[in-house]
Amino acid sequence: MTVLITGGAGYIGSHTVLALLEAGHEVVVLDNLVNASRESLRRVERLTERTLIFVEGDIRDRTLLDQLFSEHAVSAVIHFAGLKAVGESVQQPLSYYENNVAGTLVLCQAMQAAGVTRLVFSSSATVYGDGHPMPLHEGLPTGEPTNPYGRSKLIVEELLRDLADSDSAWSIVLLRYFNPVGAHASGQIGEDPRGIPNNLLPYVAQVAVGRRDCLAIFGSDYSTHDGTGVRDYIHVMDLAEGHLCALHALAERQGVHIWNLGTGQGHSVLEVVKAFEQASGQAVPYRIEPRRPDDVAACWADACLAERELGWKAWRSLAEMMADTWRWQHNNPDGYR
């Protein structure tokens, strides 16, 4: 089938494009390259020995979307496009609501006009908010995300529920990601953040490769086994394969379906640093700093529902996540540049 992948040049998108091409699907990517490089998709084409269609453009551009749907027989859309930096979203909320919320609205309007009613949306564990006991399962009520980025994800989830309620033709999957890390095992594609990385793994990898001096660990006084924050890190290829399973599930289901994509296991910051040092053979110097505002102590998934309903399970280990991150960073110390 032909699948439109918005944001397909980005980190998770490029790995998912690769998984779809390998599974024999045709892929059209729409990306405005605001946080990605065209090079990621050239490498995906080389790795898979397949070609894809790339459209450089914006999900907010209705005319472009109408043209795209008229030119390509798209059966389903996987929607990654959006902005994702939590701190930036506090500084520039309008930009986040415009790209993430208004962008999704325009995309859905164009899909509706074109009669394309299958959608997989990139949501986040952040929609659960704070205060639930771990692990987080899909039956829990959503909470109150603490920043505009998180709120934009929650608003889009609600928008998509309303849409599916209004018309039974729609089948929509909300995938709530935990903490995607790692890279394709080839070391050819991976995460390439612009500027100073916000997330743990890219920062650790840049310290190891010599681009930064020292990791700041945000807090060592949490009520976790070693005092540092605990998260559910999931290999980006496991995540990509989860999208493939969700795509197949869409064909048999109507309405909205929610699945967590996580491993079900939490690891602390110190455990991650140690695992990375072991995998890379590089030292990762760190210092302890105060807690980052709004960080939770611990967050991990109950990943049973996806296993039961999709037959999908994350199987790659923390060691593999670290080894693959390092291979990517070591081979590409400056990312795609």
Candidate ranges 56-64, 68-76, 266-274, 293-301; the one touching ligand NAD (CB under 6 A): 56-64
Peptide bond into 135 cis (omega under 30): yes
N-terminal to C-terminal alpha carbon distance within the chain: 33
Rule CB under 6 A: choose which of 3, 5, 36, 108 binds ligand NAD: 36
What 8-state DSSP symbol labels residue 301?
A: B
CB of 332 to ligand UD1, least distance (A): 20
DSSP-H helix ranges across the chain: 11-22, 38-48, 62-71, 86-91, 93-96, 103-114, 148-166, 200-208, 236-250, 269-280, 304-310, 318-331
Nearer to ligand UD1, 171 or 206 (CB): 206
Phi, psi (degrees; rounded to nearest 5) at 217: -95, 120
CA distance linking residue 39 with residue 137, whole number of Å: 37
Q: What residues from 296 to 335 belong to the interface with ligand UD1 (CB under 6 A)?
A: none
Q: Which of 179, 190, 122 is nearest to 298 (CA)?
A: 179
Q: Among ligand UD1, ligand NAD, none, what does residue 217 contact (CB within 5–8 Å per kind)?
A: ligand UD1
Query: What dihedral do alpha carbons 179, 46, 35, 320 form, nearest 10°?
Result: 20
To the query of whether residue 149 is one of the catalytic residues in this protein, the response is yes
> Does 148 contact ligand NAD by CB under 6 A?
no
Nearer to ligand NAD, 82 or 288 (CB): 82
Binding to ligand UD1 by CB under 6 A, coded x per residue (else -) over 189-228, reads ---------xxx--x-----------xxxx----------
Q: Which residues pair with 266 in a beta bridge?
A: none
> Does 147 contact ligand NAD by CB under 6 A?
no
Residues serving a catalytic function are: 149
* Residues of the shown chain interacting with ligand UD1 in the complex, contacts defined by CB under 6 A: 84, 86, 124, 126, 149-150, 179, 198-200, 203, 215-218, 229, 231, 269, 292, 294-295
* Residues of the shown chain interacting with ligand NAD in the complex, contacts defined by CB under 6 A: 6-7, 9-13, 31-36, 58-60, 80-84, 99, 103, 122, 124, 177, 179-180
